[in-house]
Amino acid sequence: MRCAAALLLFACAAAQAAGQASPYRLAGGAQAYRLAAQPDALPGRPHAGLLAAAARRHGLDPALLHALVTVESGYDARARSPKGALGLMQLMPETARRYGSRDPLDPAQNVAAGTAYLRDLLALFDGELPLALAAYNAGEAAVLRHGRRIPPFAETRDYVPKVLAHYAQLRREAEAASPYRLAGDWRARLPRN
């Protein structure tokens, strides 16, 4: 079953890279990406509280943020890439500033800015997670320049399936740890008088 889920994620990313429509979309319209976030689902991971709070604030799944941080920095708040990306979510200095981070090596500022950036990329790419991740890695201009497809950069083509695979694994772990969760707006299921 785990292999099947991972293969599905890789197939979706590959389909997007090949220019085919991706069936892997986040639920909701451009303004609502609620992924049935489970704020306490990954409490044993580094920076779990910080990532959960940012996920809650922006309507994202904490497991998605953990997957991104795992791939970007391995949870190293002091990480610096050869290209100049900084911190847990590996933000370029210009992106960090654009999203209000004065110190991208500060975990709270980095996660706040990185999560807001990811949310905006999801809005820009209509909830297409592979495209949002490609834009997070290569820049939104690169994805737009390549016709809203994953750019033909080896790093980006490796990055997207890697984050998706980590995300799928973390979702399975979260669901195994807590099989009971609220999905969507449970209030809509109440009878109306």
Taking only the tens place, the pLDDT of each residue in 37-85 is 444 556 678 888 899 999 999 999 999 999 999 999 999 999 999 999 9
Q: How confident is the model at residue 34 (pLDDT cuts 50, 70, 90)?
A: very low
Q: What is the pLDDT of residue 175?
A: 76
Q: How confident is the model at residue 174 (pLDDT cuts 50, 70, 90)?
A: confident
Indicate the pTM of the whole model. 0.72
Tell the burial category of 92 from Cβ atoms under 10 Å away from its Cβ (0-12, 13-18, 19+). Answer: middle
Q: What is the pLDDT of residue 32?
A: 45
Region 148-172: what's the mean pLDDT? Answer: 96
Q: What are phi and psi of 85, to 5 degrees?
A: -70, 145
Measured CA to CA, the distance from residue 143 to residue 119 in angstroms comes to: 16
Active site residues: 72
| Domains, the chain, with CATH or none | 2-21+46-179 (1.10.530.10)
Region 84-105: what's the mean pLDDT? Answer: 97
Contact indicator for 33, 122 with CB cutoff of 8 Å = yes
